[in-house]
Structure 1
Amino acid sequence: MDAERSGPPPRPTPAEVAAAQGRTIPDWVRPGLRVLFCGLNPGLYSGATGLHFARPGNRFWPALHLSGFTDRLLAPWERDVLLDLGLGITNLVERATAQASALTRDELAAGGQALEQLAVRTQPAWVAVLGITGYRAAFGEPRARIGPQQRLIGAARTWVLPNPSGLNAHFTLPRLAEEFARLRGEADPAR
């Protein structure tokens, strides 16, 4: 995608956002990532732009920066910068929806299996699932909590982070960044 070189894509219209229902966004992965971040699924705004965590107000990019994973606040179109830092993005469920509550348990369980296969192929050191409810459903672990997990995904260690969506009122941006920083401390102990 040339968006990184040319700047942000045009802001989608409300009709374009509504029409993004069911669209998919390609994974941003390469072999040997330090951390593969796994969202639940793209929102409609992300589906319309083709960019992960693209909706203004989504706190993924600020939390990534405030936690120390990045030296500056990255924009959703800076895919190559993110990958060069050893960080990637995928989703448990590929299809864009207005809210994650539209996802079925079967979709999430299938997404857990697909994430396992992706981790086997790309061998990240860590997989960080963004959303405790989605993680519980995808991996059949109803008592899982935010933080490190016993489960390996492929050979990767697993961490569950809070969902960075602005709809997640349980976590303010500072608290979200603290949780990201806990993972960064494990994934980047020398930083």
Structure 2
Amino acid sequence: MDPRESLIPPETLPDLLAPGLRLISVGLNPSPASVAAQVYFAHPRNRFWPMLNASGLIDETLSPSPDSMRRLFEAHRIGFTDLVKRSTPGVAQLRAADYRAGASALRMRLHGLAPRAIWFQGRTPWSQYLRYTSGEAPAAVWGLQSQTLDGVPVWVTPNPSPANAAFPLDVLTAQLASLANWLARRP
């Protein structure tokens, strides 16, 4: 390896994926703060971590750090990826070409992994995924979807981004708690 390569900042977040996970989280795309920290949902105002800690999905309190990401993946069997891997400061910078390429790539990344469920963080990643993989774009509802991905149940919850202020933390937490309860009832 060229020693200069370590001086080049990463352009995106690595996927944390493996066969047989309990849950795979699919975000829209990484923020510059997340890429800089190499931690999903690392923006200090993102409500992902408080929502996760209060939801009952995990039995410990974690904070945005590489160690917490490793703990989620190894101990709690929760994987992470994004629909679009290109980092942007907001959704306005994403184009149809990003969604088209991202949907195709996501389909390939998830194929054969067979998690117990796939969790889309927001209606936009789920509806854009459907639009560019199946040509359909039904209105997503919160919670369990009628469509599956390769037979895997899909859940959609509001995006915890600070830009999505319409949903307060207690609503986000309740949505994730519903997913946690559903997972706890499944073998």
By the TM > 0.5 criterion, same fold? yes
C-alpha displacement of 1:86: 1.4
Residue 33 of structure 1: aligned partner: 21
Aligned to 2:88: 97
TM-score normalised by structure 2 residue count: 0.84
Matched, 1:55 2:46: no
* Counterpart in the other structure of 1:143: 139
Following superposition, the deviation at residue 91 of structure 1 comes to 0.4
Q: Which residue of 2 aligns with 1:169?
A: 165
Indicate if the aligned counterparts of 2:28 and 2:124 stay in contact, CA closer than 8 A: no
Q: How far did 1:110 drift?
A: 2.8
Deviations 1:97-120 (A, max 9, x none): 000221122322332232222222
- Partner Cα separation in structure 2 for residue 115 and residue 152 of structure 1: 14
Alignment correspondent of 2:174: 178
Q: What is the letter of the counterpart of residue 180 of structure 2?
A: R
Indicate the SS of the match to 1:158: strand
3-state SS in 1 of match to 2:126:
helix
Residues 135/101 of structure 1: CA separation in 2 closer, same or farther (3 Å cut): farther
- After TM superposition, the structure 1 stretch with the greater mean CA deviation from structure 2, 23-32 or 136-145, is 136-145
Q: Which runs of 5+ in 2 are unaligned?
A: 1-7, 132-136
Q: Within the alignment, does 1:79 sit opposite 2:75 as a pair?
A: no
How many residues get paired?
A: 171
Q: SS of the residue aligned with 1:157?
A: strand
The equivalent position to 1:133 in structure 2, one of 119, 124, 134, is 124
Give me the CA root mean square deviation: 1.9
1:148 Cα deviation after fit = 1.0
1:123 to 111, 114, 117: 114
Post-superposition Cα deviations, 1:160-189, rounded to whole Å, max 9, x if no partner, equal: 111110111111011000000111111122
Distance in 1, Cα, partners of 2:21 & 2:181:
16
CA gap of 1:119–1:154, structure 2 versus 1, over 3 A, is farther
Unaligned runs of 5+ in 1: 1-18
Task: Please give the alpha-carbon distance, in whole angstroms, between the structure 2 residues aligned to 1:105 and 1:159.
Answer: 23
1:88 to 61, 79, 84: 79
With the length of structure 1 as denominator, give the TM-score of the two structures.
0.82
Q: Which of 99, 105, 109 is 1:108 aligned to?
A: 99
- The C-alpha deviation readout for 1:81-105, integer Å capped at 9, x for no partner, is 1012011111000011000221122
User: Structure 1: which 4+ aligned runs deviate by more than 3 Å?
Assistant: none
Percentage of pairs with the same residue: 35
Distance 1:174 1:182 in 2: 12
Query: Which moves more between the two structures, 34-43 or 97-106?
Result: 97-106
